[in-house]
Amino acid sequence: MNIQFVAMVWDACTQARLCIKNDKSDFAVMPVDVDEVSLFNLGSLDEKLINAFKYAGGDCPEFVKYLDNLYIKLQDRDFRKKMKQDIKDNYQKAIDESKGLDKKDRFNYVTRKRSEYDIKMFVKIINEYEKNCP
C-alpha cells in the first residue's frame, strides 16, 4: 500500500494545492491549504497536516507513531522558530535569484521555488510511510 500525490492544482495565485491518498482509498485529502495568512501561523496547520496523513496512512502503526512524534516536534518553540526562518530564507533566496528576470517571470520563479520547498516536506513524510510500511 502506498500514499501518493493524486493532484497538484494551481490556484489563481499559482500556489500549489496538493492532495494525497492511500492507494486503497476512494478519497484524497489536502493536508494543508497554505496561503499568505497561514504561512506565519503554522500552529493552526499542525493538526490538519497530521490528521490528513493519518487518514491516508493510518493503516501503519509505525507511520502513526512517526506522525505523533512529528506533531510533538512541531509544537517545540525552537523547532518552529527554525522552520519559520527556513521558510523566510528560502523565499528571500528565490527573490534574490530572480532579480534579473522581468516582473512576470520573477513572480513565476519565486512561486515555483516556494512550491518546490513546500512539496519537499510532503515528500519527506511520504518517504517515511514507504520506509516504515512496505
10 and 114 in contact (C-beta within 8 Å)?
A: no
pLDDT in tens, the chain (134 residues): 455 545 444 444 545 566 766 777 776 666 665 554 444 455 566 888 888 888 888 889 999 999 999 999 988 999 989 988 998 999 999 999 999 999 889 988 898 888 888 888 888 888 898 898 87
Q: Is the entire prediction scored with pTM above 0.85?
A: no
* N residues, the chain: 134
The rounded distance, in Å, linking the Cα atoms of 19 and 17 is: 7
In 3D space, the residue among 114, 106, 2 whose CA is nearest the CA of residue 57 turns out to be 2
